[in-house]
Amino acid sequence: MKRDLIAIGDLSDRDILRLIAQAGDIAADPKAFSRALDGALLATLFLEPSTRTRLSFEAAMLRLGGRVITSADPKTSSAAKGETLADSIRMIGAYADAIVLRHPHAGAARLAARLSPVPVVNAGDGGHEHPTQTLVDLFTLVREKGKLDGLFVVLYGDLRFGRTTHSLARALTRFGATVLALSEPGLHLPDYVLDGVRQAGGSVADVEVSGLEGLVGGRPRGTLLAPPGRAVGTATLFLAPDQVDALYVTRLQKERLPSGSGGLRALPLIDRVFLEAAPFRRAVVLHPLPRVDEIHRTLDDDPRAAYFRQAAAGVPMRMAILGAVLGAFPPLEAPPTGPAPVLDAPPCGESACIAATEPHAVPAEAFAAPDGRLRCAWCEHPLD
Ligand code: NCD
């Protein structure tokens, strides 16, 4: 049976820990794995811009002894002629042994996985999820901080449209980390991410953050996500000296902002002054990149600036992922069955959902969230 990798929630804790360990083994001795996927062929289909994700997947495949075919420019793929994703995938699934897909619409990778006879790996589906970036992020945190359990991680930036944090927030709390999500109003984490944290036994609270006065202007409000067993009992969160283990920064996702949202501004720049604040003195700085203007370049040679080490970790982690999906390493466990689908779901109204853009290929599907609201099974947005 083929095994896709579509969402971080599809992976068991054991899968994630095994991938981190495998990536560590590969990083320690990459040559030992240079024939692991001899003769296998990967297709990368990227219908949105990418530098790191595509090149690190392709480098990973080549370093495992496999080969790669790629369609990296939406303008030169048949999508420019109006071909649907469903049709493209039916063919590419006959050309290669696995597909890595990046697509502008939420739910695209799940649709591709349903139609493809070969494994599909989600390299970013619109503003929804980016599970392989999360695996790279977790691997980086383990290398930088030696553990995940007990870490205190601040997510900072565009948390609404930045897909990396949607996968990361859910994964971190599963592994015992506490997450403080800091963003401008209008750019906070979507409800479905908070629901995911609650569903896994964690808790969520809006907090007023003290200890950052002078940095982010007054007392910012944030969302605190606590792992299972560590309830959030406070409306005011005082950030103590050295409390923050990692600061995960994301750029404003300008390409996903709805028109008319010009008023949204980015949070203050991360620079040396910012990191001199007592809570951040021991914090490593992560960013999925590309950075635009969120992190000052003078920080690059600070030992706490971990974002280029994080990008480099993409190759061994993606070698571990491809090896697991293509049978060179122990396979991933079967994904959880999830909540029962709701029949006769109303159509999804999200314009960036694959169910709205390819309705002929995608049945309307929904599930009931813990609060009883119906959510689209493709993009997770509420249907009412
Ligand atoms: C991110 C993405 O594409 O979501 N980049 C990446 O994959 N490393 C982050 C971003 O584009 O801001």
Predicted local confidence at residue 215, as pLDDT: 84
Ligand 1 proximity of 130 Cβ (cutoff 6 Å): yes
Helices (H), the chain: 13-28, 52-63, 85-95, 108-115, 131-145, 163-174, 191-199, 272-276, 307-312, 314-325, 354-357
Q: Given the residues 102, 128, 287, 381, select the one marked as catalytic.
A: 102
3-class secondary structure, 340:
coil
Ligand 1 proximity of 54 Cβ (cutoff 6 Å): no
Q: What 8-state DSSP symbol labels residue 92?
A: H
Ligand 1 proximity of 124 Cβ (cutoff 6 Å): yes
CATH architecture of 132-311: 3-Layer(aba) Sandwich (3.40)
CATH class of 8-130+313-325: alpha beta
Predicted local confidence at residue 82, as pLDDT: 81
The residue whose CA is least distant from atom 8 of ligand 1 is 288
Predicted local confidence at residue 113, as pLDDT: 97
Ligand 1 proximity of 131 Cβ (cutoff 6 Å): no
3-class secondary structure, 159:
coil
Instruction: Give burial (CB, 10 Å; 0-12/13-18/19+) of 267.
Output: buried
Q: Given the residues 31, 75, 81, 360, select the one marked as catalytic.
A: 81
In this structure, how many other beta carbons lie within 10 angstroms of the beta carbon of residue 281?
A: 13
- Is residue 291 among the annotated active site residues? no
* Token reading at 367: 């599930």
In this structure, how many other beta carbons lie within 10 angstroms of the beta carbon of residue 1?
A: 5
Contact at 8 Å (CB) between 291 and 251?
Answer: yes
Strand partners, 375: 367, 382
Ligand 1 proximity of 166 Cβ (cutoff 6 Å): no
- Is residue 102 among the annotated active site residues? yes
Identical fold, 8-130+313-325 and 132-311: yes
Strand partners, 297: none
Predicted local confidence at residue 81, as pLDDT: 77
Our measurement of the distance from residue 312's CA atom to the centroid of its chain's CA atoms, rounded to an integer in Å, reads 17
The tens-digit pLDDT sequence of the chain (384 residues) is: 899 999 999 999 999 999 999 999 999 999 999 999 999 999 999 999 999 999 999 999 999 999 999 998 878 777 777 889 999 999 999 999 999 999 999 999 999 999 999 999 999 999 999 999 999 999 999 999 999 999 999 999 999 999 999 999 999 999 999 999 999 888 999 999 999 999 999 999 999 999 888 888 778 899 999 999 987 777 899 999 999 999 999 999 988 887 766 666 668 899 999 999 999 999 999 999 999 989 999 999 999 999 999 999 999 999 999 999 999 999 999 988 877 888 788 889 999 999 999 988 888 899 988 788 899 999 999 998
Ligand 1 proximity of 122 Cβ (cutoff 6 Å): no
The residue whose CA is least distant from atom 1 of ligand 1 is 288
Gap from CA of 289 to ligand 1 centroid (Å): 6
CA distances from 198 to 259, 288, 328 (A): 32, 25, 35
* Token reading at 93: 């699934």
- Is residue 81 among the annotated active site residues? yes
Instruction: Give burial (CB, 10 Å; 0-12/13-18/19+) of 2.
Output: middle
Provide the total of helices (H) and of strands (E) in the chain, helices listed first.
11, 14
Name residue 23's amino acid.
A
Predicted local confidence at residue 249, as pLDDT: 97
Predicted local confidence at residue 265, as pLDDT: 65
Ligand 1 proximity of 52 Cβ (cutoff 6 Å): yes
Domain ranges across the chain:
8-130+313-325, 132-311, 341-376
* Token reading at 257: 């902002």
Cα torsion 165, 166, 167, 172 to 10°: value is: 70
Instruction: Output b/e per residue, 143-159; b: 16+ Cβ within 10 A.
Output: bbbeebeebbbbbbbbb
* Token reading at 216: 């982010």
Ligand 1 proximity of 318 Cβ (cutoff 6 Å): no
163 CA closest ligand 1 atom index: 4
The residue whose CA is least distant from atom 6 of ligand 1 is 288
- Is residue 130 among the annotated active site residues? yes
The residue whose CA is least distant from atom 11 of ligand 1 is 290
CA distances from 322 to 5, 32, 91, 289, 332 (A): 10, 16, 20, 22, 11
- Cis preceding-peptide flag for 363 (omega within 30 of 0): no
Rounded-to-integer distance, Cα 51 and Cα 285, Å: 20
Length of the chain: 384
Rounded-to-integer distance, Cα 186 and Cα 193, Å: 15
Q: Given the residues 53, 132, 165, 250, select the one marked as catalytic.
A: 53
Our measurement of the distance from residue 100's CA atom to the centroid of its chain's CA atoms, rounded to an integer in Å, reads 14
